[in-house]
Amino acid sequence: MTARIRFGVWVGAFGLACAGVFGCGSEDPASGDGQTSGSPKKTVGAPTSTKGSTSTSAATTPTATNSPKPTTTTMTPPALGGAAGSAAMPSPSAGPGMPMMKPGATPGTGPTTAMPTGMPGPLAMDECNLHTKFPGDEYCILPPPPDKGFQMHIGPNNYDNPEAKYILNAGEERTDTFLTTSTNDKEVFFYYRQYRMRPGAHHNIISSGNAGDIGLGQRIGTVNSLAEDYPKGGIIAPENTGVGIKLQPQTSINVSLHSINTSQKTELREIWVNFWYRDPQEVTDPVKEIFAAAPMAGIPPGADVVVSGSCAVSGTGRMLWAYGHRHANNVRFSVWRSRGGKKDLVYQGYNWEETLVLDYSSTVMNAVPDTGPNVEGGWSGILDMKSGDTFDWECHVINKTQGTLNFTNNTFTGEMCILDAETVGATCL
């Protein structure tokens, strides 16, 4: 097993895919990314395990709330449906060996579990009627009803005179830790999460249990898109009807927020995350996490390297979603599941700024990678895991800066190679 760092830092794609209960991927891909530089490429292995973080920390006490808000119109998300005559995704009883999807085909209906009535539709936006002087008012969403969930809000108390820790000046990059407490007064389970962040936010990592800024508590959420829901579209796949994450009453919550302002105007640091409860009697599959980094030595200016990592699967289960976290000098992030000498490409992403997140379920089909120049994608269908498997990943990094790249939160002058995922029944260590 290669080294694993508990650090952290979530655009599933629809398109060409093969699909099924056990899913399908690309076997033994070349993983060529068409990227070149003046230096020869070399491979950096993963040495002895280390743990830690390089982020700066500023402890504060924002609020988590589920206080009543003005009534808004909500809807139950529809099931993913295909047009008449389109190629449909097989139901969970169909088994492996499904055909390739036709270009432009959409997922079939099949059995799904929609969010309970009263929950918002997919990617709800602009629910708060905010009118501040800062960009991103439209990302504000209302909290769930108190008996349905709670909202974690990190932001200023006064928009006209925000505290300094929420201000991001032009060209500024910061990583800070914010502390808050969940508002549930009894043990709860959740699964569906809504993430919203104002422009300038690169990622946030949400951990429970006094984790500090190094992600050593239970990670209960992470996102690096300004607007994201999970599961996708508010649809719980049939195999995931028992999935849930436990949260104890009034749990301390730690938020590591990484922000970078590439504009010429002052931006406001603010995030909203809604956690929607699940019926505890329905939860049979507790969620586990994979939060593993391929360590890297200093990468000198102009160097063209491949950094690699690996973890060994323990238990029998499946991966719910995954993404590869990296920074601006990364040109490709690839992940394979290795089993019995066979390697399946399950994730391949090229865009560090709008990072690909893949949902592995019977209701989602992902694009087939490299069907065109730098086409992102990966495995479609359920991605099963069992003891003896390994997940191997690599980052192709070309240092385009004048300095050495180290493992830091700095977007343009530091680099990372982190596999981030949630699983049930199994984990990878």
pLDDT: is 366 or 80 the higher one?
366
Return phi, psi of residue 137, to 5°.
-55, -30
Q: Where are the domains of the chain?
A: 26-55+289-428, 63-85+112-285
Q: What is 26-55+289-428's CATH topology? A: Jelly Rolls (2.60.120)
Among 295-299, 333-337, 392-396, the least confident range: 295-299
Contacts of 83 (CB under 8 A, 6+ apart): 106
Once rounded to an integer, what is the mean pLDDT over residues 93-103? 27
Once rounded to an integer, what is the mean pLDDT over residues 174-196? 91
CB atoms inside a 10 Å sphere around CB 256: 27
Once rounded to an integer, what is the mean pLDDT over residues 162-167? 95
Query: Over 80: is that where the pLDDT of 239 sits?
Result: yes
Residue range 334-348, pLDDT digits in tens: 999 999 999 999 999
Query: Over 50: is that where the pLDDT of 89 sits?
Result: no
DSSP string of 151-197? EEEES-S-SSS--GGGEE-TT-EEEEEEEEE---SS-EEEEEEEEEE
**Closest by alpha carbon to 6, among 176, 220, 214?**
214
Q: Which pTM does this prediction carry?
A: 0.69
Residue range 20-58, pLDDT digits in tens: 333 555 444 445 554 544 444 444 443 333 333 333 333
Once rounded to an integer, what is the mean pLDDT over residues 368-372? 92
Once rounded to an integer, what is the mean pLDDT over residues 351-366? 88
Q: What local confidence, expressed as pLDDT, does residue 20 receive? A: 34
Query: Over 50: is that where the pLDDT of 7 sits?
Result: no
Among 191-195, 216-220, 237-241, 383-387, the least confident range: 216-220
Q: What local confidence, expressed as pLDDT, does residue 377 receive? A: 97
As to burial, measured by CB atoms within 10 angstroms (0-12 exposed, 13-18 middle, 19+ buried), residue 350 is buried
CB atoms inside a 10 Å sphere around CB 275: 29
Please state, in angstroms and rounded to a whole number, the distance separating the CA atoms of residues 357 and 3. 23
Once rounded to an integer, what is the mean pLDDT over residues 369-384? 94
| Same fold flag, 26-55+289-428 and 63-85+112-285 | yes
Q: Hey, which CATH number is domain 63-85+112-285, 3.30.1490, 2.60.120, 3.40.50, 3.40.109?
A: 2.60.120
Q: Sorting pLDDT into bands at 50, 70 and 90, what band is 263?
A: very high
Query: Over 50: is that where the pLDDT of 415 sits?
Result: yes
Q: Sorting pLDDT into bands at 50, 70 and 90, what band is 413?
A: very high
Mean pLDDT of the chain: 76
Among 146-160, 202-216, 269-283, 411-425, the least confident range: 202-216
Q: What local confidence, expressed as pLDDT, does residue 121 receive? A: 63
Once rounded to an integer, what is the mean pLDDT over residues 200-219? 68
Once rounded to an integer, what is the mean pLDDT over residues 373-396? 96
Among 83-87, 225-229, 307-311, the least confident range: 83-87
Once rounded to an integer, what is the mean pLDDT over residues 372-398? 96
Q: What local confidence, expressed as pLDDT, does residue 319 receive? A: 97
Q: What local confidence, expressed as pLDDT, does residue 410 receive? A: 82
Query: Over 70: is that where the pLDDT of 79 sits?
Result: no
Residue 164, phi-psi category: left (phi > 0), alpha (psi -120 to 50), beta (remainder): alpha
Query: Over 50: is that where the pLDDT of 235 sits?
Result: yes
Among 56-70, 108-122, 130-144, the least confident range: 56-70
SS3 283: coil
Could you tell me the CA-to-CA distances from 333 to 140, 418, 425 in Å, in that order? 31, 9, 25
